[in-house]
Structure 1
Amino acid sequence: MKKYLLILFSFLALTACRQADNKQSLQGEWRFALDRNDRGLTEQWYTRSLTDTIHLPGSLQEQGYGDEVGIETPWTGQIVDKSWYDSPLYEKFRQPGNIKVPFWLNPDRHYVGVAWYQKEIDIPASWTGNPVQLELERTHWETTLFLDGVEMGKHESLSTPYRYTFKELTPGKHTLTLRVDNRVNIEVGVNAHSVSDHTQSNWNGVIGTISLTAKPSLYIDDIQIYPNIADKTIKVAVSLDGTTTTNDATLLLQVEKKDGGVIGKPHKVTVDPETGMTQEITLSMGEDALLWSEHSPNLYTLRAVVESNGKLEEQYRTFGLREFKANGTRFEVNGHPVFLRGTLECCIFPLTGYPATDRAYWTKIYNQCKAYGLNHVRFHSWCPPEAAFAVADSMGFYLQVECAGWATVGDGGYSDQWFREESDRILKEYGNHPSFCLMAYGNEPGGANQVKYLSELIDHWKSKDLRRAYTSAGGWPYVENADYWNAPDPRIQGWGEGLRSIINAQPPRTDYDFAHIIRENMPTVSHEIGQWCVYPNLKEMDKYTGVLKAKNFEIFRETLKDHHMADLADAFLYASGRLQTLCYKADIEAALRTPGFAGFQLLDLHDFPGQGTALVGVLDPFWDEKGYVTGEEYSTFCNNTVPLIRFPKMVWLNNETLNVPVEIAHFGEKPLQAAHINWQISDRAGTKLAQGSFTKDLPVTNCIPAGKIEYALSGIGEPSQLIVSVEVKETNSKNQWNIWVYPAKQEAVEQLPYITSTLDNQTMARLDKGENVLLLLAPGSILPEKGGDIRVGFSSIFWNTAWTNKQPPHTLGILCDPAHPALAAFPTEGYSDYQWWDLVSNCNAMVLDDFPADYRPVVQLVDDWFTNRKLGILLEGKIGNGKLMVCSADLQKDLDKRPAARQLRQSILQYMASSRFNPSTSLDPALVKALYQK
């Protein structure tokens, strides 16, 4: 052992004696020129000195270069709703000096084309005879390199660093010139998040590391590490480059622990340049080696040192000892079942307009993901920089990486070859990271030959590298040789479903799952579940202090003000946010109830700023909370261990008995023996009504039956909202649901109002005499222009109406004052919950824009932020000497089968019969009549 330590210490000493000047940072000021007409190559700009200046790393747009946004701006990205270009509604936002587009965040400057970057470098005499490597961590996009006016090479990758090695540079001054072209010259798709204005923006520049490094004559080109958990070894493949004139060139490998200790003996081999430029060596990690997973993200470092001609180079690679593979319909990590709880990351970086290359920001991202119960991130149609992998390694996240595409594939064009080469670059650059667990070509491809092309691409990946699972693409197609299917189902609502989706078409319950969709031969991971919208957080606009501005939010703020509701912005956000949270809870719990399911990918945990403005996140684009749900609450239904109840319905009568099965989804680090599962039923005040417990072994899986909750509801005399909760004591996992219990037999209401469907002469006469009138406007009676054409459903808006051609619903739930006496016998919060499902599913919105500016209905609908109309389904006011209540939800039909509708009617009637019915606003009857008659 002493002999090996001496070898190691000698190499450490040599390393310490390396020349300190073997690396130069090129960050800082560069000369610069825009090449708007792409004349630089023909005019040989690489031979002249450029005159403008710019700072790298960075983009030209964030430094004031480019064009102001206008009607002719050549955006990179599809625009579905083009009304901004011609609609009178947007006319004032198309005027010079007031340009504001609603499609996505607006850059201060926009530029698509060629730009030139130039810098003088000074090669020291000590580098004489050494190869010199230039590294540009990420360019956007196509880059051509010139040295002293001579073309050196090109780079087309969107995902990996550009490294160019000069065989030898003479000491003294040299001029580097870069031509960077951010046009979509290769068909990766204008909506791909690797290039699109939808999210990061189509920027031009260089970010991350920019440096020159002097290499020894023999140096390391690549290191790949292939773990074998069965015998706890790693196979190390080291590729060398360069030349040597000595016969005793050596390569030393040593595995180091996180605390700095070493594992085993240093392994040293002699390198023969004629036959040994690629070395494959197996190293033992020892019986005590620790495995990597989400639960225990144990990391090791491989140190590689090559010595030749008295000079050496050392490189380090971080790796984890792990195996990620499919087994039946599930994934396993190190033979342990895993359930992917994921979100998309669509290259959303609003301050810079390009992805972060520092670890601090990625730490924030993954910390928020972990706080909200996630263990997985899908990088939709792009590949992140090195820092994203390194932080995911340290925190135990499973990443799905994609090859920068959202395009047509398989038609034989150059992009087919490019995607294959890009995947090779990604596997080489990031393949050692244990977090890099899944890979796909990109998103939702087109093309008649896509299955054949993607099947061959998967075979190509498997022939090179079996360290991860591979699939065709996000969404489709299904390919038989894939390791898993990233399927558009299961989820409770999809594109085109609208009011036909589970959450809108069926009465609320929590007993559905998607077992019928799961394929038996491979894991199914659901693609882009959720997409539930929330009203814009207008206070968020102050955060946009970088290259992108929320001018789309400025439009929404102005139209809200035009409709005299600026004071309701925060209330709209909170109310719609609570409904959004409920929808995500329903989606995630359905996934956790599905036997054999492999996982889901949310769209999204944070907002997607493009495609018309898709406010689908419970976090904003900065990964910050919006104020209506915390990670603590969200992780009650999205976590390693989640208690679940299969409720057949959420609204009950007090002559029924609650009898519901409890089950557990448990994907923790290990099985639990004799776990204590406690349940409780309480009222809104927190008074405990019933409780019980079960003892159950919890293997690592889902759909584990725990027992049944049985509780007679006969003791609930008043209309009540109850909270049913279940807790797994050992994991401190608690989940809860609201249910509603109404009297089966209602008390008679004395002094009923006059109930009518029209303000005819008889009704007006009654009002003139001071009577109370309940005007019930049945669904279908509201004029189209007064709300009849607004499609109301229970859920919030899916994705956004500008991108889905107004897929319903068109609203974001209800807003009300829960203390309003009209709702006294209809327990509610100030926002939608399941007791509102029947009512909003059987109603028309009433457009109240012509009512007094400060008028507020009793129950308001939160409108689409693109239109910001004042909408109501329950309102009141004085007319003449009488008092009027108007409801556009169906409170008449089949009430014996619709307990929530019957109970709201009862609550309204009791209110109208009481002295508390005393509206403060006088209404013009013509405004009311205009809602339903010409």
Structure 2
Amino acid sequence: MKTSRIILLIIIPLLFFLFSKVSAQKQNRIYLSGEWQFSLDSAAIGIKNKWYLKNFSETVILPGTTDENKKGNKNTIFTTAHLSRIYTYSGAAWYKKEIYIPEFFSNKHVTLFLERTKETNVWIDSLFIGSSRSILTPQIFQLPPNLKPGKHTLTIMVNNDQQAFPQETKGSHAWTEHTQTNWNGIIGKIYIEAKPINHITDIQISPNYQKKRISAKVKIFSTHNEKAKISLHAETWNTKNKHNAKKQTYPITLHKGINNIELSYYLGKDALSWSEFDPELYRLTAILSTGTEQDTSITNFGLREFKTNKNQFTINGIKTFLRGKHDACVFPLTGYPATEAEEWRKIFKIVKSYGINHYRFHTWTPPEAAFEAADIEGIYLQPELPIWGSVNTGNEPLLSYIKETSQEILKSYGNHPSFVMMALGNELSGDSIVIAHIVENLQQQDSRILYSSGSNNFLGNKGRIGKEDFFVTCRTRQSTDSTYARNVRASFSFADEFDGGYINGMYPSTRRTYTQALSGCTVPIIGHETGQFQILPDFKEINKYTGILRPANLEIFKQRLAQNNLLKQIEDLHFASGKFAAICYREDIEMALRTPEFGGFQILDLQDFPGQGTALVGLLDAFMESKGIIEPFEFSQFCNRVVPLALFDKYCWNNDEVFLSTIKISNYAEKTVGKQTINAYLSNDSGDTIAKQQWYTLLQNGKLNHIGEFEVSLKSVKKSTNLTLSISIEGTPYQNKYKIWVYPKRNILQKQNITICRKIDKQMFNLLKEGRKILLLPDSKEIEKVSVGGMFSPDYWNFSMFKSISESLNRTVSPGTLSILTDPSHPLFLDFPTESHSNWQWWSILKNSRPIILNNLKNYIPLVQVIDNIERNHKLGLIFEFQMGKGKLLICSCNLDNIMDKPEGSQLYNSILEYMDSPHFSPHVQISEPELFNLFNSEIKNTEIKGVKNITSYE
């Protein structure tokens, strides 16, 4: 029995080996995934000591990384700056595998294919094959033509220490620990391929949508001069609308060496086109016949024409609006991007459900799987070079790298119809003439796509650079005023714009547009990194981190909340800050949609960014999973091909006014829609209709359609209420809703049993001792040291980064708050309707407030709490109450006197007085005179906040 087992142990591997040889003879690729020998080379001595000749005792699995194989240094340093790798390593690492070259590879052109890795050096046995520093495209190495069949040793040294790369690449998302991590390894496909000696080395396809044909630039290698022929055949493969183009054969004459041949191939008058609406793809089969040999090359393409028409983009002649998402390569399980098309299709299907049709890859270019998936799903892609810094004449290493990398990207991915745009990098500075020259060279080199000089170069202050085809920016020109007239997004950091931009800096209205900023610009403008509204974390996400990254940042934040006794509120804090962020994202997006002839936006972000100090700005978490804040259907009501829009002056009204709204519909559907019925309803919170109107009109494609005016007298509203304006296109899923607040017009109530005090003094304490009701409205200057500034919009990006930037530039630091948190059912709000979170009726209230720090009141929850950012982590009170002896005290840290001209201001004042005059005013928490005095006079202990360095200068 024992002997039989031994024989089986010998025979089974032998059969497997023989079977592998037979299988290899039936294919032209040998895949190399599996176990490899491995060794770290932290001292960088491997090349000098000829490690390609030695065996290694350790092993790893490829494709994979050192992190996944638990190689490197066990991490002991954890930070809130980004997710933390469990194993870290930077430097050279060696990978070695025994390979078998079959007989039928003899007299073939044999190459090694590495889909994605870092800087490499490659050896076969003792022979050096070559090196590469292509980190965003496949690395392909030609093996020796005289390589004998049989066993050989393949050795690859991968180096991720970045020394061979220009300084300006090192902060990009192609490398950084803040997103995909600076991994070491090889991911994606790894194989050796054999092709005939005379073979097709490359095909570049340029579609001509108007003429229903393609130009195929075919590169062929030939060993000698000879006559040959090449055939082209295209057929659709991913659509029910089948189309099989007629096969064409072209006689050609080959010369020894590389031949560049351009062929024109007619697809037929019924050829199908590719777009976001119908992403129909062709598969082109090219067969080269030379003597007795044939070589086949298969390439996918789409018949499409992505161009510009003045200030807008067109797809196949139809105007489109780019509803874009920023992508920073956040893959929290692996630390590197997915290389399977199905994974990317899953991602793109999620974003499409939210109305997104465009992706901008911030300073990186994804693997081919992303392009394949975007081709199928109909997503317009803007990859970028990994450049973030200054581009200047004389910097030859950088300029050479830009030229080299851009050519590699165009060659590798240019046939994909989803690849419609490219930018040189993010927020570039330096010499604009040099930058413009690079773009012009690219335009001449490859006209299949549109080019930008970079995303938000010079922070928009220099305007459009050279002849770039489109302009991605946060502003369109330099200006010194505070009207925001140059801006093309609604939110900014305080370091970059007065009072943080439109949403925080101007009284709310839905009539604002970016029209002034578009003045004088003749190419499409895309709003750069729209949004960036912070949301407190959902700590249940911590359990999702089962891969190579540890969410130490979230763990640290959780500890901080617990120390300040806020952890018990985290679900409510998370939800309130999230709901309000969604409201602000909506306003940012709608402001773009209601701007005639605007190009689009790139939102930052639908997904959390767990780096750069931890920017939890996503409505989805880092895993692209819902936070339960807003569902796709609700989001797509204001982010879609067709969006009904209501334009009105303000959100808060008195009942002696007439509500006037202009109804418009943004239509970027595939075509002009025939006459449609549009309905508008104004209803109360019980669902009763107060007013309605109907229009029957044509909805033209590619424009903001004016529908009509909706005018409603508010006299019938007798009590404070929240009304909903609903707009829908009958028989379609397109609808949108707006909340407005209506209050009875009246003067401030006079309550004889309530005393209003402006400061804490003996008189106030004596009144409380007498059992009086006191409304304390403290002077903002007197509470400055125990409070934070008033702010409406959620803090931008993250507090730590822009606090340090603002301080370094001697500019105002953002107040840093996120939203209110309150109980809408509390009696205080009987005449002041509210949700648990901020909404537009709170704008003037919060802007004129100084929320008071209540950290010492461990278990106390104010009536209106203000949510602080995760870094500073204060417990903040806007409205709160105490029992003091026989007296009752309510404190409001909003300067109500400043907002009496606003309907919401006078109404809140009256609601506070009515609440205090009612039996409901019965504070449960007792406070003493010393405790109250200390609350307003004690020194506040602030957490030390270390800023995260940003590459971009905001000077």
Relative to the length of structure 2, the TM-score reads 0.90
Match of 2:442 in 1: 461
Match of 1:904 in 2: 908
Segments of structure 2 that go 5 or more residues without pairing to the other structure are: 1-22, 459-463, 476-487, 805-812, 939-955
Match of 1:87 in 2: none
Match of 2:92 in 1: 114
Paired with 1:730 and 1:598, the residues of 2 have a C-alpha distance of 28
The more displaced of 793-802 and 720-729 is 720-729
Match of 1:803 in 2: 801
- Deviation readout 1:830-861 (Å, 9 max, x if unpaired): 0000010111101111111111x221000001
Quick check: 2:223–2:256 contact (8 Å CA) kept in 1? no
Please, which of 867, 875, 879 is the counterpart of residue 872 of structure 2?
867
Match of 2:171 in 1: 191
- Deviation readout 1:537-561 (Å, 9 max, x if unpaired): 1111111111111110011100100
Match of 1:225 in 2: 205
- Deviation readout 1:74-131 (Å, 9 max, x if unpaired): xxxxxxxxxxxxxxxxxxxxxxxxx430000111011111111111111112222222
Q: Does 1:126 align with 2:107?
A: no
In structure 2, relative to structure 1, the CA distance for the partners of 1:881 and 1:530 (3 Å cut) is same
Match of 1:3 in 2: none
- CA RMSD in angstroms comes to 1.8
Match of 2:283 in 1: 301
Match of 1:574 in 2: 575
Match of 2:740 in 1: 739
Paired with 2:921 and 2:224, the residues of 1 have a C-alpha distance of 95
- Deviation readout 1:708-753 (Å, 9 max, x if unpaired): 1100001101011111111122542111111111111258465541
The more displaced of 510-519 and 496-505 is 496-505
Q: Does 1:353 align with 2:330?
A: no
**Residue 267 of structure 1, CA deviation:** 2.3
Paired with 1:927 and 1:587, the residues of 2 have a C-alpha distance of 43
Match of 1:452 in 2: 433
Quick check: 1:782–1:931 contact (8 Å CA) kept in 2? no
Match of 1:476 in 2: 457
Paired with 2:338 and 2:801, the residues of 1 have a C-alpha distance of 28
Quick check: 2:673–2:699 contact (8 Å CA) kept in 1? yes
- Deviation readout 1:765-791 (Å, 9 max, x if unpaired): 22223222111123222141x22xx23
Please, which of 148, 154, 178 is the counterpart of residue 125 of structure 2?
148
Match of 1:180 in 2: 158
Match of 2:897 in 1: 892
SS state at 1:759 partner: coil
- Deviation readout 1:247-268 (Å, 9 max, x if unpaired): 5643221112226763113424
Paired with 1:701 and 1:924, the residues of 2 have a C-alpha distance of 65
- Deviation readout 1:669-691 (Å, 9 max, x if unpaired): 00012221110111122222111
In structure 2, relative to structure 1, the CA distance for the partners of 1:165 and 1:332 (3 Å cut) is same
Paired with 2:893 and 2:137, the residues of 1 have a C-alpha distance of 57
In structure 2, relative to structure 1, the CA distance for the partners of 1:613 and 1:405 (3 Å cut) is same
Aligned-partner residue type, residue 744 of structure 1: K
**Residue 929 of structure 1, CA deviation:** 2.2
The more displaced of 386-395 and 144-153 is 144-153
Match of 1:85 in 2: none
Segments of structure 1 that go 5 or more residues without pairing to the other structure are: 1-16, 71-98
SS state at 1:393 partner: helix
**Residue 931 of structure 1, CA deviation:** 3.6
**Residue 189 of structure 1, CA deviation:** 3.0
Quick check: 2:532–2:604 contact (8 Å CA) kept in 1? yes
Paired with 1:339 and 1:168, the residues of 2 have a C-alpha distance of 55
Match of 1:80 in 2: none
Quick check: 1:129–1:169 contact (8 Å CA) kept in 2? no
Quick check: 1:498–1:808 contact (8 Å CA) kept in 2? no
- Deviation readout 1:355-380 (Å, 9 max, x if unpaired): 10011221121111111111100011
In structure 2, relative to structure 1, the CA distance for the partners of 1:486 and 1:280 (3 Å cut) is same
Q: Does 1:529 align with 2:530?
A: yes
The more displaced of 436-445 and 683-692 is 683-692
Match of 2:481 in 1: none
Alignment of 1:318-717 (within 5 A): 318-411=300-393, 412-447=395-430, 449=431, 451-476=432-457, 478-489=464-475, 490-495=488-493, 496-497=496-497, 499-518=499-518, 519-717=520-718
Aligned-partner residue type, residue 413 of structure 2: Y
**Residue 244 of structure 1, CA deviation:** 6.1
Quick check: 1:511–1:648 contact (8 Å CA) kept in 2? yes
Aligned-partner residue type, residue 286 of structure 1: G
SS state at 2:457 partner: coil
Please, which of 790, 793, 796 is the counterpart of residue 791 of structure 2?
793
Q: Does 1:252 align with 2:250?
A: no
Match of 1:86 in 2: none
**Residue 44 of structure 1, CA deviation:** 1.6
**Residue 52 of structure 1, CA deviation:** 1.4
**Residue 68 of structure 1, CA deviation:** 2.9
Identity, % of aligned pairs? 37
- Deviation readout 1:311-330 (Å, 9 max, x if unpaired): 43322111110011112111
- What is the total number of aligned residue pairs between the two structures? 881
The more displaced of 564-573 and 382-391 is 564-573
Match of 2:724 in 1: 723
Runs of 4+ in 1 over 4 A off after TM superposition: 746-751
**Residue 693 of structure 1, CA deviation:** 1.1
SS state at 1:405 partner: coil
SS state at 2:433 partner: helix
The more displaced of 500-509 and 827-836 is 500-509
Match of 2:185 in 1: 205
Paired with 2:436 and 2:865, the residues of 1 have a C-alpha distance of 52
Paired with 1:128 and 1:869, the residues of 2 have a C-alpha distance of 72
Quick check: 1:875–1:885 contact (8 Å CA) kept in 2? yes
Please, which of 60, 73, 78 is the counterpart of residue 54 of structure 1?
60
Paired with 1:19 and 1:26, the residues of 2 have a C-alpha distance of 15
**Residue 69 of structure 1, CA deviation:** 3.0
Quick check: 1:877–1:883 contact (8 Å CA) kept in 2? yes
Paired with 1:731 and 1:429, the residues of 2 have a C-alpha distance of 41
Paired with 1:330 and 1:535, the residues of 2 have a C-alpha distance of 36
**Residue 25 of structure 1, CA deviation:** 0.8
SS state at 1:572 partner: helix
In structure 2, relative to structure 1, the CA distance for the partners of 1:281 and 1:275 (3 Å cut) is farther
Aligned-partner residue type, residue 901 of structure 1: G
- Deviation readout 1:639-682 (Å, 9 max, x if unpaired): 11111111111110000000121111110000012221110111
Q: Does 1:921 align with 2:925?
A: yes
Quick check: 2:533–2:797 contact (8 Å CA) kept in 1? yes
Quick check: 1:778–1:843 contact (8 Å CA) kept in 2? no
Quick check: 1:217–1:308 contact (8 Å CA) kept in 2? no
Paired with 1:529 and 1:40, the residues of 2 have a C-alpha distance of 47
Aligned-partner residue type, residue 200 of structure 1: Q
Paired with 2:140 and 2:243, the residues of 1 have a C-alpha distance of 32
Match of 1:74 in 2: none
**Residue 457 of structure 1, CA deviation:** 1.4
- Deviation readout 1:473-522 (Å, 9 max, x if unpaired): 01125322111111223011224226252111211111111111114321
Q: Does 1:882 align with 2:887?
A: yes
Aligned-partner residue type, residue 916 of structure 1: H
Relative to the length of structure 1, the TM-score reads 0.92
Quick check: 1:772–1:882 contact (8 Å CA) kept in 2? yes
